[in-house]
Amino acid sequence: MTPEEFAERIKAKFEGVEIKITENKLPHPRKRIWVDVDRDRFKDVVKFLKELDPTAQFSIIIADDRGDKLTAKYHWEMFWEQGESLSVVIGTACPKDDPVLPTITDIFPSTLPYEREVQEFLGIKYEGIPDPRRLFLPDDFPEGIYPLRLDETGVKMVKNAGHPYGRKSK
Amino acid sequence: MNILYATLGLIALYLYVSFASLLWEGLDRKLVARMQRRVGPPLLQPFYDFLKLMSKESIIPRHANKFYELAPVLALAVSIALLAYTPMGFAPLFATKGDVIVFIYLLTLIGFIRVLGAISSGSPYARIGAQREMIILVSREVPMMLALFTILWRLNHLGVEKPFSLATFYQRNVWSGTPLALIGTFILLFVFLAWLASEIEVGFFDIPEAETEVAEGPMAEYSGRHLALFELSNALKMFVSASLVVAIFLPWDISAYVGLSGISALVVDILFHTFKVFVVLFISMSIFRAITGRLRITHAVQVFWLRLLSAAIIGSLILAIDQLGVIA
Amino acid sequence: MNEKVEYWVKIPIGPIHPALEEPEKFIITLDGERIINVDVKLGYNLRGVEWIGLRRNYIHILYLAERMCGICSFSHNHTYARAVEEMAGIEVPERAEYIRVIVGELERIHSHLLNLGVVAHSIGYDTVLHLSWLAREKVMDILEFIGGNRVNYSINMIGGVRRDITEKHRRAILDMIYYYRQEVMPKIEEIFLYDPTVEARLRDSTVIPKRIAIEYSAQGPTARGSGITKDVRYNEKLGVYPDLGVKPVTPKEFTGVIKGDVFDRMVVRVGELWQSMEIIERALDQMPEGKIKAFPKDNMIIFKLKKAEGEGIGRYEAPRGELIHYVRAEPGRDGPAKWKMREPTFPNLFAVARALVGEQLADVPVAIASIDPCLSCTDRVAVIDANTGKKKVLTEVDLLKESIKKTKEINPNIKAKPERVGGVGL
């Protein structure tokens, strides 16, 4: 399946979904599909991916603080059994005052550790996540602090962290 | 020999064997290092280790009970007692009729005390190590005892002063007899070498103390003086186990050839015996350690119950057939 | 009463344990020697790399990325450079692509040799550890010769590479390949394909079936050992790799069967050693002349990237599996607005934790070693905050003071002052 065909399939099934195909300039050009979908239909798109290729391999959740909203981009590698694979990035977003996204661990079980990671670092709550414990952060890390957020709930640069021999903070 | 001389002899033996066994550990580490293209530690490293451990604080876990501190002392005491029943190029100090039973009993007791100490420490690693040690203990003794008693029974038939004692090996040579008996003895030698490797826990049988799995197993919580005592008792046990193999299969002495008698004969004999122990340990410990990895506990038990036990049975049957003259 | 009383023991493997090269924690529930459950806790090595990255510019991050991990240091800055190049549409000269291939494959050789030794050590086969690490010295020397360092060779630059491969490098590399072909590989095959101890320990232990490997998105040799023909170099048509004929290596070509156990993972590594050597030879032959950088001056890169906008993904087959970096740029910033990476160990760790259930405790070290875990890569994201944390976090100087206090108790004659070690806050 070529990237264009894939984009057509998605477009036919889900109206109004933003799709763009980028190409890089390596000696062998390489296309990537970027899909943007609202969070209500996000889970349906993921289900559709699984229907298209049951062996699709999930790689990463890129969660980002974009001011008033939190975005999450999921990367899949599809049709890897047929040589050149399809690199698909599906992005979704949620507002910061209601940071909830649907979990997709029931469709792709391998997303669980990534969702746990995003949950503790950016404070996106996953609805129905089977294991909401912390993964990277220590258990006594304060609640309500999300290290990778860029607003006041994030971590500020601490001047010298109590270092008496360091530079004096100005 | 009165009791005073025997006690003095035991103390001298204890000092000598402690020295020789720690020296062998240094040699072994050096030799294995050379086989692995490493430089290796200094020859006297085990002595440094021992002295350093003796001077260190011993940390006792909060959940440990009294036996935790008692176990290393008991283990060392048992290994010293064991020396009195060990053939060292001459008959054991307290040689008597049937002393082989005491020998095996004491040898097993050291392992048993290690297990008790490990369980008392309250560490899960030590507990798993202790489980493994127990399993190995009950598996390895069966083929060894069968082989040992067959050999003693056969020597007994040839006529000895004290039946079923370790002194018999110096009166009758196991290698004498028909070619059939030689084959049987040779099979039993193989069983004994494997038993020796498992007794000192190297190579295939480094299971209870598996460093990468259970972090030194039974020894996980021990430190300082307690660990030093265990290390010493382990070294003594290694020397004693190898002495048994040497006494059975390589009983020749050189003092008679050189024409010595009295104390000097004893000294020459024990030096020659030490040399033979080193040779046996080199085969069964250094080489074995360098060319094999660790088995899983299930594999190891299979090795004992399927391979070694059947080898011991076959060897014993051959000896019995030869002795009772079934074919001839 | 048919109820069986279960004597379950919980054993922590880690954070510090002799089987682990780096801190992590596996909480293993045992019934005797059989494993009932495995729980993974990470984060003992967190350095907040992602967070630091937000405060660095594009060139700084190249060197920061490299320091995530000592073994796959080339992979990290290679992948990061690719992500930036894709984001900004920078074209890399062909010679630079070939140099990236050569250094990347050299790194794969050194990483796989390291892992062969580690697996042997975890089954108590220390001789193999020492001999395979002795063999590894050769490729480390070559890497030092090319990059100037044994690890962190700093080969990549955005839009090219920093160091050329000249004729004397080429001769040294060919010498090394000859040495490996003649002396090392036959012995390694002897040990990892035919040795009875190794076979007894590695065969049928910690089987990851193909279904589990797909479900848990296993990567790299872990996936290929289970028969998944996935290799980013091949699937992604990465760089000049298609011209060099790269194919995913599966154990089928060596042993004829695919079981997905530890043995198969090691067979894949042995196969990839052969493959890497072939690729290096071909790359040395086909390498064209030309320039090695798209931009002659580094400040031009910053100048161009400051105007760039968009996002890019870089993917590369690191020795352990698929490595992926993401970079998003905002115009006017000289550093990325978002930089995110994922290392192959992360999914592999959960795949192997799943596969360990039902196995024996003795399999744990070898199973963990068989995915070649790189935990310093995996743990990289958080920050310790001394001000907001409820617990008091002892800083370096507090520790130093404590330590000096203790020393003075023991020996009052020592006169020492706490000295500043390491960096200060910005």
Chain segment B174-198, per-residue pLDDT in tens: 777 777 778 888 888 888 888 888 8
C405 and C336 fall within a common domain: no
Q: Cα(first)–Cα(last) distance of chain C, in Å?
A: 68
Helix (H) / strand (E) containing B71: helix B67-83
Q: What is the structure's pLDDT at A169?
A: 43
Phi/psi for C340 (5° steps) reads: -140, 140
| The residue to which tokens 């981009």 are assigned | A73
| The residue to which tokens 């690199």 are assigned | A87
Q: Which of B199, B230, B215 is nearest to B70 (CA)?
A: B230
Q: What is the structure's pLDDT at C412?
A: 64
Q: What is the structure's pLDDT at B222?
A: 84
The residue range of the domain holding C229 is: 49-344
Judge whether residue C81 has pLDDT over 80.
yes
Q: What is the largest CA-CA distance in chain B?
A: 67
pLDDT tens-place string over residues C45-57: 777 788 778 888 8
C398 and C269 fall within a common domain: no
Rounded to the nearest 5 degrees, what angle is found at the Cα of C166, between the Cα atoms of C160 and C168?
150
pLDDT tens-place string over residues B90-124: 777 777 777 888 888 888 888 889 888 888 887 77
Contact A/C (≥3 CB pairs under 8 Å): yes
Q: What is the mean pLDDT of residues B34-53?
A: 88
What Rg, from alpha-carbon coordinates, does chain A have? 19
Q: What does DSSP assign to residue A102?
A: E
C381·A81 Cβ contact <8 A: no
DSSP one-letter string for B282-321: IIIIIIHHHH--PPPHHHHHHIIIIIIHHHHHHHHHHHHH
Q: What is the mean pLDDT of residues B160-166?
A: 71
The model's confidence at residue A163, banded by pLDDT at 50, 70 and 90, is very low
- Report whether B58 contacts B223 (CB < 8 A): yes
Judge whether residue C399 has pLDDT over 70.
no
Tally the residues of chain B: 328
What's the gap in Å between the CA of B218 and the closest CA on chain C? 15
Q: What is the structure's pLDDT at A156?
A: 64
Judge whether residue B265 has pLDDT over 50.
yes
The set of residues, in sequence order, having a beta carbon less than 8 Å from that of B256 and lying 6+ positions away, is: none
- B172 to B159, B249, C150, C274: CA distances (angstroms): 8, 11, 63, 59
How many domains, in total, are found in chain C?
A: 2
ipTM of the complex: 0.85
Q: What is the mean pLDDT of residues A75-97?
A: 84
Task: Compare A60 and C11 and report the one with higher pLDDT.
Answer: A60
A166·C342 Cβ contact <8 A: no
C161 and C286 fall within a common domain: yes
- Identify the chains in contact with C, defined as 3+ C-beta pairs within 8 A: A, B
Sheet holding A57-66, edge to edge: A18-24, A30-36, A86-95, A69-78, A57-66
Judge whether residue B172 has pLDDT over 80.
no
| DSSP-based three-state secondary structure for A75 | strand
C408 and C278 fall within a common domain: no
Q: Is residue C107 part of a domain?
A: yes
Distance CA C7, CA C31 (A): 6
The set of residues, in sequence order, having a beta carbon less than 8 Å from that of A59 and lying 6+ positions away, is: A75, A76, A77, C217, C315, C322, C324, C342
Q: What is the structure's pLDDT at C385?
A: 38
DSSP one-letter string for B93-157: TT--TTHHHHHHHHHHHHHHHHHHHHHHT--HHHHHHHHHHHHHHHHHHHHHHHHHHHHHHHHHH
Q: What is the mean pLDDT of residues B264-284?
A: 84
The model's confidence at residue C389, banded by pLDDT at 50, 70 and 90, is very low
The model's confidence at residue C397, banded by pLDDT at 50, 70 and 90, is low
At the top level of CATH, which class does the domain A3-141 belong to? alpha beta
State both tokens at C383.
């920050």
Distance CA C358, CA B286 (A): 34
Arithmetic mean of pLDDT over chain C: 80
Q: What does DSSP assign to residue C40?
A: E
The model's confidence at residue B327, banded by pLDDT at 50, 70 and 90, is low
The nearest alpha carbon in chain C to B215 belongs to: C18
Distance CA C38, CA C36 (A): 7
| The residue to which tokens 């009052």 are assigned | C412
- Report whether B196 contacts B183 (CB < 8 A): no
C204 and C329 fall within a common domain: yes
Q: Tell me, yes or no, if A20 comes closer than 8 A to chain C by beta carbon.
A: no
Q: What is the structure's pLDDT at A106?
A: 87
Distance CA A114, CA A136 (A): 11
pLDDT tens-place string over residues B10-30: 888 888 888 998 898 898 888
C315 and C412 fall within a common domain: no
Q: What is the structure's pLDDT at C400?
A: 58
The model's confidence at residue B326, banded by pLDDT at 50, 70 and 90, is low
pLDDT tens-place string over residues C330-360: 888 888 888 888 888 888 888 888 888 888 7
Q: Tell me, yes or no, if C350 comes closer than 8 A to chain A by beta carbon.
A: yes
Distance CA A120, CA A137 (A): 7
Q: Is residue C96 part of a domain?
A: yes
Q: Is residue C259 part of a domain?
A: yes
The model's confidence at residue C422, banded by pLDDT at 50, 70 and 90, is very low
- Report whether C109 contacts C273 (CB < 8 A): yes
Nearest to B294 among C12, C123, C130 (CB): C123
The model's confidence at residue C405, banded by pLDDT at 50, 70 and 90, is low
Arithmetic mean of pLDDT over chain B: 82
Judge whether residue C101 has pLDDT over 70.
yes
Which string of b and e fits C120-131 if b means at least 16 CB within 10 Å? bbbbbbbbbbbb
A73·C326 Cβ contact <8 A: yes
State both tokens at C426.
């910005």
CB atoms within 10 A of CB B214: 32
Query: Above pLDDT 90, what percent of chain C?
Result: 0
Q: Which of C139, C111, C85 is nearest to C317 (CA)?
A: C111
Distance CA C387, CA B2 (A): 77
As to burial, measured by CB atoms within 10 angstroms (0-12 exposed, 13-18 middle, 19+ buried), residue A50 is middle
Beta strands in C303-362 (DSSP E): 310-318, 321-329, 338-342
> Is C377 among the annotated ligand-binding positions?
yes
Q: Is residue C157 part of a domain?
A: yes
CB atoms within 10 A of CB C241: 26
**Neighbouring C-alpha atoms within 13 Å toward the C-beta of A84:** 12
Q: What is the structure's pLDDT at C417?
A: 53
Q: Is residue C292 part of a domain?
A: yes
C190 and C296 fall within a common domain: yes
- Identify the chains in contact with A, defined as 3+ C-beta pairs within 8 A: C
Contact B/A (≥3 CB pairs under 8 Å): no
pLDDT tens-place string over residues C223-236: 888 888 888 888 87
Mutate which of C10, C17, C35, C129 to disrupt the B interface (most B C-beta within 10 Å)? C17
Tally the residues of chain C: 426
Task: Compare A95 and C23 and report the one with higher pLDDT.
Answer: A95
- C117 to C48, C224, C377: CA distances (angstroms): 30, 20, 20
Q: Is residue C167 part of a domain?
A: yes
Q: Of A15-29, A99-113, B112-126, which range is least confident? A: A15-29
| DSSP-based three-state secondary structure for A62 | strand
Residues 73-112 of C with CB under 8 A from A: 85-86, 89-92, 94, 97
Q: pTM surpassing 0.90?
A: no
Distance CA A19, CA A31 (A): 13
Q: Which of C78, C111, C98 is nearest to C319 (CA)?
A: C111
> Is C66 among the annotated ligand-binding positions?
no
C424·A160 Cβ contact <8 A: yes
Q: Of A57-66, B126-135, B253-262, C149-158, which range is least confident? A: B253-262
DSSP one-letter string for C162-213: SS---HHHHHHHHHHHHHIIIIIHHHHHIIIII-HHHHHHHTTSS---HHHH
B128·C11 Cβ contact <8 A: yes
Judge whether residue C414 has pLDDT over 70.
no
**Neighbouring C-alpha atoms within 13 Å toward the C-beta of B136:** 30
Nearest to B293 among C33, C120, C131 (CB): C120
The nearest alpha carbon in chain C to B131 belongs to: C32
- Report whether B66 contacts C156 (CB < 8 A): no
Nearest to A109 among C97, C215, C239 (CB): C215
Q: What is the structure's pLDDT at C408?
A: 66
The model's confidence at residue A170, banded by pLDDT at 50, 70 and 90, is very low
Residues 48-87 of A with CB under 8 A from C: 55, 57-60, 62-64, 73, 75, 77, 80-81, 83-85, 87
Nearest to A84 among C41, C91, C235 (CB): C235
Q: Tell me, yes or no, if C417 comes closer than 8 A to chain A by beta carbon.
A: no
What's the gap in Å between the CA of C232 and the closest CA on chain A? 9
Judge whether residue B149 has pLDDT over 60.
yes
Q: Tell me, yes or no, if C315 comes closer than 8 A to chain A by beta carbon.
A: yes
State both tokens at B127.
């507990």
